[in-house]
Structure 1
Amino acid sequence: MNQFQYARPSKPQAAIRAVAKDANAQFIAGGTNLVDLMKRGVMTPQKLVDINRLPLNKIERQNNGLRLGALALNSAVADDKLVRERQPLLVQALNAGASAQLRNMATVGGNMLQRTRCPYFYDTTMPCNKRAPGTGCGALEGINRMHAIFGFSDKCIAVHPSDMSVALVALDATVLVSGPQGDRRIPFADFHRLPGDTPQKDTNLERGELITAVDIPDAPFTRHVSYYKVRERASYAFALVSAAAALELDGNTIKAARLALGGVAHKPWRLTAAEQVLVGKPATEATFRQAAEVAMQGAKAFKYNEYKLKLAPNTLVQALKTATAA
């Protein structure tokens, strides 16, 4: 690990200024991803700005919804009474996301900002446009069984690893950020980026911008929800494919639906067209199969991840069946 400077400001604006004025500075909170990347030489910030003293860890009711402070711990959010009552889909996703030890350190903001787990990104001897722009993508012709089937480019086929983010995009969350130019709100669906020609940019944050909170609007999805995650082992592992499903039912008729997939793209993959297919239909496996077929339009596999073309729709159908039975 390279040497680095360390600062621990107590006010948000001081932290923002410290990162905005130094291109080699980086915010650090729980450090559950950043420290690993620094140890491997994947990321080499020359200055770390520790934000744990900032007052950003509240979980509270706000404007007809819930507001999660950026420094709220994943374990605290999953155990919070308000979150469990009003956003059970998020609770399921958080509990599926990591070991208890990691959830006790990882923060809401840090979870959103974690980098891909693509092995070519982590291996500094291999080409990776995300780690070193212009060097190529080792995964394109390499072992790409964990990689994207939606939204990729010839520069990068990595996937975003967060389970929490899959639930948040399905729940129409909004990200609150503060930066050198002031405060702004970013719809969660627009927070993460597809790789395009700039895969090194994971999000639409500007230099020096700090996530302060996430707002989740109230919705009728408090009972019929499911976060279904398929992984290579039952213990802590990243998703091969995951699906978030939330339904509002009137008897056996679907009044509203929210759907998203994880492990399939460079960002959490919202399925708005598939949601529309479900509305007004009976909550049956035949209906769910129709929605899954629509969800997979545009999917394309590579040499080693062709199984995802079957696994993804089957995972979505299983999530919908589990949500209906809840």
Structure 2
Amino acid sequence: MDEKKHMKNLLIIAFFNLFIVFGAAADNLTYSEFSKKYAESAQLYQQSRYQEALNIFDELVNDPFAQEYPSVFLSRSLTLYYLERYDESLKDIEICIQKEPYVLKPIYCRSVIYTALKNYDKALADIDYCLDRNPRWDDANHQKGLIYLNMKKYEEALESFERAINNSDEVKPNFYSDRGFAYYYLKDYHKAKRDFLFALKYTSDDDACLCLVDVCYKLNEFEEGMKYADILIKKGSRVNFAIIDKSYLLFALDRYDEAKEGLDSIFESSNNLSSYHKALSIYYILTDKFDSAIKEIDIAYSLNQKDNDILILKQLFQNGQFNMDIVKDSFMVEEF
């Protein structure tokens, strides 16, 4: 669900446009200085050295000539976005839009920023403005799907992702992985798996790979699920969650000791995760250590009082109505 990859492409386009502007205005500015600075900032940006790139933009946007070209503010806005300085990013994109109110890309970018700020109504208003003028814009349809996904409106998200895929002239893996998330939350696990696997043919998407672990659990494909967990563990990405999720697959295969060994290996780095203590509580339930299970459930509850699975387990113990079928259903990947 990473809209930031597309935002990075927009910044490269902005760089290209700026080179053209400065080349045409060489009489007013030292072209070699500006081109050198922008080339340097582009390189830093591609290397994910955002703060260093921002230092250059901070210098350039204060140049009197640069004030005439909104692309400068667009570029700095996108860099600030990657630094997760969303309020500052919004200020720069507003300047860009004020100077070029009829250009759609800055409005699209503002929608992405509003989404990061969880201001979904404004994000939708901006993206609808874009789609009213260009209904077949695949990235805008995809962005609308992401907004709905964040709003937990999964049917609407699915419809937007479908339009994005149908209107795209190329294969964009994130369109498919994000549609997979919509299917996942709608509990259509076969279609979710199909989309995740398709996306992973073209790109490395750790969120999709992690969700595949849970999808395989839901489909009783335990050995296959462990394969995807091991991919993440081997590459050192999302390791804690991969081990936690893998433990449920091992539970289903009655390989309790292996599950506990994995959980013990991440104790120090996962002790503050409710999902970690929830998994431990399941281990203790399965091995008839109910006092330890209750302790872990209490810790999990103290860390996350909104987790329905934890609330159910806590209530079952309090009522003395423990049911293993409910325990099995408690596995939900929480962090995508």
TM-score by length of 1: 0.27
Give the strand-richer structure, 1 or 2: 1
Structure 1 or 2, whichever has the larger Rg, is: 2
Specify which structure has the bigger relative contact order, considering alpha-carbon pairs within 8 angstroms and separated by 6 or more residues.
1
